[in-house]
């Protein structure tokens, strides 16, 4: 039996390769502060659902999904990814605890690569589809985020799943339920999916104007009914008081605290923020070759005049995701992870641009295949070289356009967040005599590092702030501009400014380890 490499199989192979790459990469990525909350919440959610569906006694909905915002049940974020990671942890212990938690996000990144491939294949061609998917796979920051048990990469996947389902539902089908369910899944992953109707609405209006009649009203019904319904079904916290709990959920994000975030040398923690944060950050965190190909692709895509305006759909999808960050009031912490849904648009544009350029060059030199290999290969290798440079500390990484990690530091771009880099000093800590450790921003993850055997016994977390430093004999500082004060507290308590080890990402300091003299 021979297995033909059909386009669909190529897409599936790319999706599997994406998931595998994410899973391999995340093995050396430390535990993000927020992940620890999602681990616990996910375990509780999974337990609740399994016991509910098997008619066993269990905790109440309020105990499992409710409580104060910022608490263990994490009611400030919808449950889908947490539930998936909890189930994965429950059912796939052989994968390793951390990997099991992160598996759903990795799979969704593979799904995203597949959908990018499928969308580009349907509208442009195989070369475009392959290059678009590969461009997505070699985005260093996206690869990093996809390896965390967090919502950002999954929300990109489900955002684009909604876009794709919407596109497919424009075929006039009688029951376009897929788009409503996809949007519901996106909503059940992250609140940013609330921006999707703006994109879809603009697109529907555009194609209705072009058709001179109201088009695809069933799609609107599907979105309006099945989207909220899916969210409701998946989030038991809404069952008892849907309006009040949705209001609380949205109010939390509308009035979210502005975390400290460095941008162009300034520590920002209050609006108004610069209007150009999203543009500059995107320019410096997407490989330069991908950006160039995307610009070419955008020009080429515009020339195509399909009745259903696919290029417009991709454009409004990106605009709806990134648009709020031009207002100057939307929190900028987290930067590119909050507007990740622009990436499928960008990568499809890059795939289309590169394939078009290669095709034209191939026709001119009479070697179409060689042109495609050279152009596409160069594009993907450029991204791959950035991935190699970036991982596992991709939050410190900036592209060659910035001058790499050091160039980003020179520009005063944010160094990192979430305390992930602490993992890189655990081996150094273990070389020291056992002692209490001031664990700084890695405090929430410390118990997990101990549980996973990455920190030997005998190195307890000494506690928080000045009291923790006073009780410690070892101390780490995870470098961010607003964390400088932790260095100074340690200097004062230890009587020295000299660390014993400085972890660097491509030469840029990311964690200092101090030892009390």
Partner 1 sequence: MSRKLLVIAPALLIVLVSLWEIVATHRDVSSVPGDAAWDAAATIVRADYRPGDLIEFAPDWIDPVGRLHLGDLIAPGVAARMDAARYSRIWEVSVRGARARDTIGLSPVIEQTIEGVTVRRFERGAAVVVTDFAQALGGATSDGVHPTLELAEVGFAPHQCVQVIPIPGKPTTLAFHAAALGGSLVGYVGLADVFTRRDIRGPGELAVEIDGVRVADVHPGVDDGWVRFEAPTTAGLHDVAFTASATAPQRLICFAAEARQ
Q: What residue ranges bind partner 1 (CB under 8 A)?
A: 258, 260, 267, 269-270, 287-289, 292-293, 296, 353-354, 356-358, 360-361, 363-365, 371, 374-375, 378-379, 381-382, 385-386, 388-389, 399-400, 403-407, 409-410, 415, 479, 481-482, 484-485, 487-489, 491-492, 495-502, 504, 506-509, 512
Q: Is 375 helix (H, G, I), strand (E, B) or coil?
A: helix
Q: Which residue, 61 or 374, is less far from partner 1 as judged by CB?
A: 374
Q: Which residue, 83 or 348, is less far from partner 1 as judged by CB?
A: 348
Q: Is 265 left (phi over 0), alpha (psi -120 to 50) or beta?
A: left
The structure tokens listed for 314 are: 């991709």
How much is the CA Rg of the chain, to the nearest whole Å? 24
402's CB contacts (< 8 A; 6+ apart) are: 284, 408, 411, 413
Q: Which residue, 385 or 450, is less far from partner 1 as judged by CB?
A: 385
Per residue, the 3-state secondary structure of 229-279, as one string, reads: HHHHHHCCHHHHCHHHHHHHHHHHHHCCCCCCEEECCEEECCCCCCCCHHH
Q: How far is the CB of 286 from partner 1 (least distance, A)?
A: 11
The helix-helix angle for 152-169 and 196-211 (nearest 10°) equals 20
The structure tokens listed for 268 are: 């920002």
Q: How far is the CB of 495 from partner 1 (least distance, A)?
A: 7
Q: Which residue, 52 or 506, is less far from partner 1 as judged by CB?
A: 506
Q: Is 451 left (phi over 0), alpha (psi -120 to 50) or beta?
A: alpha
- How far apart, in whole angstroms, are the C-alpha atoms of residue 268 and residue 30? 25
Q: Which residue, 43 or 405, is less far from partner 1 as judged by CB?
A: 405
Q: Which residue, 12 or 502, is less far from partner 1 as judged by CB?
A: 502
What's 425's DSSP letter?
A: G
- How far apart, in whole angstroms, are the C-alpha atoms of residue 31 and residue 98? 9
Q: Which residue, 79 or 383, is less far from partner 1 as judged by CB?
A: 383
- The phi, psi pair for 508, rounded to 5°, reads -95, 125
Q: How far is the CB of 511 from partner 1 (least distance, A)?
A: 9
Q: How far is the CB of 356 from partner 1 (least distance, A)?
A: 7
Yes or no: say if 155 and 142 are a contact pair by the CB < 8 Å rule: no
Q: Which of 463, 462, 512 is nearest to 491 (CA)?
A: 512
Q: How far is the CB of 124 from partner 1 (least distance, A)?
A: 16
Q: How far is the CB of 512 from partner 1 (least distance, A)?
A: 5
Buried b (16+ CB within 10 A) or exposed e, 45-78: bbbbbeeeeeeeebeebeebbbeeeeeebbbbbb
Q: Which residue, 174 or 369, is less far from partner 1 as judged by CB?
A: 369
- How far apart, in whole angstroms, are the C-alpha atoms of residue 492 and residue 208? 67
The structure tokens listed for 495 are: 């009587």
Q: Which residue, 47 or 410, is less far from partner 1 as judged by CB?
A: 410
Q: Which helix (H) or strand (E) holds 450?
A: helix 443-451
Q: How far is the CB of 500 from partner 1 (least distance, A)?
A: 8
Q: How far is the CB of 70 from partner 1 (least distance, A)?
A: 16
Q: Which residue, 143 or 382, is less far from partner 1 as judged by CB?
A: 382
Q: How far is the CB of 328 from partner 1 (least distance, A)?
A: 16
Q: How far is the CB of 9 from partner 1 (least distance, A)?
A: 27
């Amino acid at each position: 039996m021979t297995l033909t490499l059909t386009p669909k199989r190529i897409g599936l192979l790319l999706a599997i390769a994406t998931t595998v790459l994410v899973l391999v990469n995340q093995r050396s990525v430390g535990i993000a502060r927020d992940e620890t909350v999602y681990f616990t919440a996910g375990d509780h959610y999974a337990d609740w659902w399994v016991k509910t569906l098997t008619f066993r006694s269990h905790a109440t909905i309020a105990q499992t999904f409710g409580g104060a915002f910022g608490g263990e049940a994490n009611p400030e974020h919808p449950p889908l990814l947490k539930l998936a990671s909890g189930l994965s942890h429950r059912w796939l212990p052989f994968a390793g605890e951390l990997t099991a938690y992160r598996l759903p996000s990795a799979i969704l990144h593979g799904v995203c690569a597949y959908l990018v491939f499928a969308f580009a294949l349907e509208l442009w061609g195989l070369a475009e589809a392959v290059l678009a998917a590969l461009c997505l796979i070699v985005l260093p920051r996206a690869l990093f985020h996809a390896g965390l048990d967090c919502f950002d990469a999954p929300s990109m996947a489900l955002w684009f799943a909604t876009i794709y389902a919407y596109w497919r539902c424009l075929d006039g089908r009688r029951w376009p339920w897929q788009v409503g369910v996809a949007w519901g899944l996106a909503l059940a992953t992250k609140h940013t999916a609330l921006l999707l109707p703006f994109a879809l609405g603009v697109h529907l209006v555009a194609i209705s104007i072009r058709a001179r009649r109201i088009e695809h009203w069933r799609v609107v019904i599907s979105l309006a009914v099945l989207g909220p319904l899916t969210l409701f079904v998946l989030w038991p916290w809404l069952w008892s008081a849907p309006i009040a709990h949705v209001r609380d959920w949205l109010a939390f994000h509308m009035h979210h605290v502005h975390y400290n975030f460095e941008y162009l040398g300034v520590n920002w923690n209050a609006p108004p923020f610069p209007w150009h944060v999203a543009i500059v950050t995107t320019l410096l965190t997407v490989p330069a070759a991908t950006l160039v190909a995307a610009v070419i692709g955008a020009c080429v895509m515009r020339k195509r005049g399909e009745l259903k305006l696919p290029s417009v759909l991709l454009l409004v999808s990106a605009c709806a995701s990134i648009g709020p960050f031009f207002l100057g009031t939307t929190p900028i912490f987290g930067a590119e992870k909050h507007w990740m849904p622009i990436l499928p648009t960008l990568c499809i544009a890059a795939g289309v641009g590169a394939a078009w350029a290669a095709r034209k060059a191939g026709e001119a030199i009479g070697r179409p295949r060689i042109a495609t290999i050279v152009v596409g290969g160069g594009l993907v290798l450029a991204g791959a070289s950035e991935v190699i440079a970036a991982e596992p500390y991709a939050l410190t990484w900036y592209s060659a356009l910035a001058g790499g990690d050091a160039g980003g530091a020179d520009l005063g771009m944010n160094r990192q967040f979430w305390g992930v880099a602490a993992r890189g000093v655990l081996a150094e800590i273990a070389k020291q005599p056992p002692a209490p450790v001031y664990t700084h921003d890695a405090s929430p993850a410390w118990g997990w590092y101990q549980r996973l055997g990455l920190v030997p016994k005998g190195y307890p977390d000494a506690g928080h702030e000045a009291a923790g430093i006073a009780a410690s004999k070892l101390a780490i500082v995870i470098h961010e501009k607003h964390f400088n004060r932790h260095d100074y507290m340690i200097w004062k308590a230890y009587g020295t400014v000299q660390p014993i080890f400085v972890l660097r990402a491509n030469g840029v300091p990311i964690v200092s380890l101090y030892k009390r003299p």
